[in-house]
Amino acid sequence: MKSIYVLIMAMLPFTANSQEEIEWFDELALEEIRPNTKKKIWLKMIENGMSQPINIPVIIIKGDVQEPVLGLIAAIHGNELNGIKVIQELTKDINENEFKGTLVAIPGINGISITQHRRRYIDEEDLNRNFPGKEQGNRSQQYVWQINHKILSELDYLVDMHTASFGRENSLYVRAKLDEEEIAQMARLQDADIVLNSSGLPSAGKQTRVRTMRAEAMLKGIPSITVEYGNPQVYQTDIIKRGVKGIKNLMRWLKMIEGRTEKVNEVTYCKKSYWIYVREGGYLEILVNLNQKIKKGDLIAIMRNPFGDILNEYRCPEDGIVIGKSSNPINMNGGRILHLGIIDESLK
């Protein structure tokens, strides 16, 4: 039987798409990677219930000097796929022999949820609300602790790559602490529609025991931005193209690659933002578009019952711009209508 198996395998056509040999690592060990190297690795994070390692893909590009170290981290939520494609398209074009510094690009950091087509971690926790994590904590806390100590500790700069959640749509927008000039410049270089002034702390406030990955990085002194690349569980060609452009602009500014920064989209700056919610259940029709500037009193949505009768009309509470909105017409009390950004021209 063995000889028949070997003969069959020998007859199968060779394809250039066969996976290359990729090494497994317990740590990044950037100092051990030779200069002018582009290396793909599997980085061990945890073990599953069969004592098998759960690994994440990491692309490391190291030039003739190690610094600065730029981290690109995609899909801490398992349904945030556009950032994964941004990293794939970006890294294939970089010539490691002309590169300066080190790029640590992770096209999919949530090693559990991505393949399960789910947003949250296996214990239904939001990994991005669990930093700094705990070495001896529960499942999500231990996973976050691994991210914190194996990855964030190695970085000089961070771009945290997200999308909207299920049932929502996002513009291409950046969250950044705009009163810090270095971080503000990182945000300006992205080809974004909107830049939102945001500290990165969870809505619970500064006293909370847990925080976002961006907030954790900034507490470590790592200039960081969050980029929201459109919609969940899809690849959006235009968003991905603009995402690659923005990261290349950032790398040029950091002198990691040569060339002039490309002209970016005309951006709208917002000093704050909030979601508008429905007050009853039913079938929601949203009447405004992403990136649309709206005025106080504008009709933004209509709620109907299953028979089509109007239950309520929702109007904009103040002037602003649509950052994101619900894409699911079916809503119960407290469902989201839209994410409203409050424009501040002085932030330019």
User: What are the tens digits of pLDDT across the range 83-132?
Assistant: 999 999 999 989 999 999 999 999 999 999 999 999 999 999 999 999 99
Q: In CATH terms, is domain 273-347 a member of 2.40.50.100? A: yes
* pLDDT of the residue at 202: 54
Pick the closest to residue 322 from 284, 281, 275 (CA basis).
Answer: 275
User: What are the tens digits of pLDDT across the range 12-28?
Assistant: 333 345 466 888 899 99
Pick the closest to residue 293 from 343, 237, 235, 219 (CA basis).
Answer: 343
How far is residue 50's CA from residue 270's CA, in Å, rounded to a whole number? 48
Has residue 318 got a pLDDT over 70? yes
**Residue 58 Cα distances to 47, 74, 136, 195, angstroms:** 18, 11, 25, 28
* pLDDT of the residue at 263: 87
Q: Token digits for 19?
A: 């996976």
Residue 336: how many CA atoms within 13 Å on its side-chain side?
19
Burial class (CB in 10 A: 0-12, 13-18, 19+), 166: middle
Q: What is the pTM of this model?
A: 0.91
Q: Which architecture, in CATH terms, is 21-253?
A: 3-Layer(aba) Sandwich (3.40)
Longest dimension (CA), the chain: 77
Q: Are strands 299-304 and 282-286 parallel, antiparallel or unpaired?
A: antiparallel
User: What are the tens digits of pLDDT across the range 287-301?
Assistant: 999 999 999 999 999
Break the chain into its structural domains and give their ranges.
Answer: 21-253, 273-347
